[in-house]
Amino acid sequence: MTFNQLATMALLFLCSSAFSQSRFSKNEISVNGFRNPSIGLEYRNKNVSIHGGYYITALESGITTKFIKVGLTGWFLPVGKKENPSSFYAGASYLRGINLDYNKENALGVEAGFRWMVWKGINLRLGAIALVSKGHETRINPTPGISYSFFF
Protein backbone atom coordinates (compact mmCIF):
# COMPACT_ATOMS: atom_id res chain seq x y z
CA MET A 1 0.00 0.00 0.00
CA THR A 2 1.42 3.40 -0.96
CA PHE A 3 1.65 6.55 1.11
CA ASN A 4 -1.04 8.24 -1.04
CA GLN A 5 -3.44 5.30 -0.66
CA LEU A 6 -3.04 5.33 3.12
CA ALA A 7 -3.50 9.11 3.28
CA THR A 8 -6.67 8.85 1.16
CA MET A 9 -8.06 6.09 3.41
CA ALA A 10 -7.36 8.17 6.53
CA LEU A 11 -9.11 11.19 5.03
CA LEU A 12 -12.17 9.10 4.11
CA PHE A 13 -12.37 7.68 7.66
CA LEU A 14 -12.18 11.16 9.18
CA CYS A 15 -14.79 12.58 6.78
CA SER A 16 -17.19 9.67 7.30
CA SER A 17 -17.01 10.09 11.07
CA ALA A 18 -18.04 13.74 10.74
CA PHE A 19 -21.42 12.60 9.34
CA SER A 20 -22.12 9.86 11.87
CA GLN A 21 -24.85 10.30 14.47
CA SER A 22 -23.26 11.71 17.57
CA ARG A 23 -23.97 10.93 21.20
CA PHE A 24 -20.54 12.11 22.24
CA SER A 25 -20.05 14.79 24.87
CA LYS A 26 -19.23 18.20 23.46
CA ASN A 27 -15.66 18.36 24.85
CA GLU A 28 -13.15 15.94 26.33
CA ILE A 29 -9.53 16.17 27.44
CA SER A 30 -7.67 12.87 27.83
CA VAL A 31 -4.40 12.17 29.56
CA ASN A 32 -2.97 9.22 27.65
CA GLY A 33 -0.63 7.00 29.65
CA PHE A 34 0.37 4.43 27.07
CA ARG A 35 0.98 4.01 23.38
CA ASN A 36 -2.43 4.83 21.87
CA PRO A 37 -2.55 7.45 20.47
CA SER A 38 0.64 8.52 22.30
CA ILE A 39 1.88 9.27 25.81
CA GLY A 40 0.49 12.77 25.99
CA LEU A 41 -2.70 14.78 25.68
CA GLU A 42 -5.75 14.65 23.45
CA TYR A 43 -8.58 17.14 23.00
CA ARG A 44 -11.89 16.00 21.48
CA ASN A 45 -14.73 18.22 20.31
CA LYS A 46 -17.84 16.13 19.57
CA ASN A 47 -16.47 13.36 17.30
CA VAL A 48 -13.11 14.78 16.16
CA SER A 49 -9.97 14.96 18.29
CA ILE A 50 -6.41 16.22 18.05
CA HIS A 51 -3.56 14.61 19.98
CA GLY A 52 0.13 15.03 20.60
CA GLY A 53 2.84 13.29 22.55
CA TYR A 54 5.59 10.71 22.71
CA TYR A 55 4.99 7.44 20.82
CA ILE A 56 6.96 4.23 21.30
CA THR A 57 6.67 1.01 19.37
CA ALA A 58 8.57 -2.24 18.91
CA LEU A 59 9.16 -2.54 15.17
CA GLU A 60 11.63 -5.33 15.95
CA SER A 61 11.54 -7.69 18.92
CA GLY A 62 13.30 -6.17 21.92
CA ILE A 63 14.06 -2.84 20.18
CA THR A 64 12.04 0.28 21.00
CA THR A 65 11.63 2.88 18.27
CA LYS A 66 10.60 6.34 19.51
CA PHE A 67 8.66 9.14 17.83
CA ILE A 68 7.04 12.48 18.50
CA LYS A 69 3.44 12.15 17.24
CA VAL A 70 0.63 14.60 16.42
CA GLY A 71 -2.60 13.84 14.60
CA LEU A 72 -6.35 13.86 14.10
CA THR A 73 -8.86 11.17 15.03
CA GLY A 74 -12.47 10.69 14.00
CA TRP A 75 -14.87 8.93 16.40
CA PHE A 76 -17.90 6.99 15.16
CA LEU A 77 -20.48 4.28 15.94
CA PRO A 78 -20.92 4.90 19.69
CA VAL A 79 -21.72 1.69 21.57
CA GLY A 80 -23.83 1.30 24.71
CA LYS A 81 -26.11 3.57 26.68
CA LYS A 82 -23.56 5.28 28.91
CA GLU A 83 -23.40 9.06 28.98
CA ASN A 84 -19.90 8.80 27.46
CA PRO A 85 -20.12 5.75 25.20
CA SER A 86 -17.45 3.41 23.95
CA SER A 87 -16.80 3.85 20.23
CA PHE A 88 -14.73 3.09 17.18
CA TYR A 89 -12.08 5.47 15.89
CA ALA A 90 -9.85 6.07 12.88
CA GLY A 91 -7.12 8.62 12.44
CA ALA A 92 -4.01 9.87 10.77
CA SER A 93 -0.85 11.19 12.41
CA TYR A 94 2.47 12.80 11.59
CA LEU A 95 5.39 11.10 13.33
CA ARG A 96 8.96 12.36 13.66
CA GLY A 97 11.54 9.71 14.55
CA ILE A 98 13.89 10.45 17.44
CA ASN A 99 16.09 7.34 17.51
CA LEU A 100 17.45 4.34 15.59
CA ASP A 101 16.59 3.91 11.88
CA TYR A 102 13.87 6.59 12.02
CA ASN A 103 16.02 9.27 13.70
CA LYS A 104 15.11 12.70 12.23
CA GLU A 105 12.82 11.05 9.65
CA ASN A 106 9.15 11.76 8.92
CA ALA A 107 6.43 9.13 8.89
CA LEU A 108 2.66 8.86 8.47
CA GLY A 109 0.58 6.77 10.82
CA VAL A 110 -2.91 5.58 9.88
CA GLU A 111 -4.75 3.83 12.67
CA ALA A 112 -8.11 2.38 13.59
CA GLY A 113 -9.57 0.60 16.58
CA PHE A 114 -12.02 0.62 19.47
CA ARG A 115 -12.09 2.60 22.74
CA TRP A 116 -13.84 0.93 25.66
CA MET A 117 -15.09 3.31 28.37
CA VAL A 118 -14.40 1.12 31.41
CA TRP A 119 -15.51 3.22 34.38
CA LYS A 120 -16.06 6.96 34.74
CA GLY A 121 -13.14 8.52 32.82
CA ILE A 122 -10.95 5.39 32.58
CA ASN A 123 -10.79 3.98 29.06
CA LEU A 124 -8.83 1.33 27.19
CA ARG A 125 -8.03 1.29 23.48
CA LEU A 126 -7.15 -1.53 21.17
CA GLY A 127 -6.24 -0.80 17.60
CA ALA A 128 -3.63 -1.09 14.89
CA ILE A 129 -1.41 1.42 13.15
CA ALA A 130 0.11 1.34 9.67
CA LEU A 131 3.41 3.22 9.79
CA VAL A 132 4.60 4.53 6.43
CA SER A 133 7.92 6.29 5.87
CA LYS A 134 10.02 6.91 2.77
CA GLY A 135 12.85 4.40 2.56
CA HIS A 136 11.22 1.96 5.01
CA GLU A 137 8.77 -0.86 4.50
CA THR A 138 5.21 -0.25 5.73
CA ARG A 139 4.81 -1.64 9.23
CA ILE A 140 1.54 -2.63 10.91
CA ASN A 141 1.60 -2.87 14.69
CA PRO A 142 -0.97 -3.25 17.47
CA THR A 143 -1.69 -0.10 19.47
CA PRO A 144 -3.05 -0.75 22.96
CA GLY A 145 -3.67 2.25 25.20
CA ILE A 146 -4.97 3.44 28.55
CA SER A 147 -6.26 6.93 29.27
CA TYR A 148 -8.23 9.01 31.73
CA SER A 149 -10.72 11.46 30.23
CA PHE A 150 -12.31 14.61 31.62
CA PHE A 151 -15.66 15.54 30.03
CA PHE A 152 -17.16 19.02 29.89
CB neighbour list of residue 38: distance below 8 Å, 6 or more residues apart: 32, 51, 52, 53, 54, 55, 69
Which domain CATH number covers 57? Answer: 2.40.160.20
Range of the domain at 43: 3-151
pLDDT grade, residue 24 (50/70/90)? confident
Over the stretch 38-82, which tens digit does the pLDDT of each residue have? 999 999 999 999 999 999 999 889 999 999 999 999 999 999 888
Q: What is the pTM of this model?
A: 0.84
Phi, psi of 5 (to 5 degrees): -65, -45
Q: Per-residue pLDDT tens for 111-122? A: 999 999 999 999
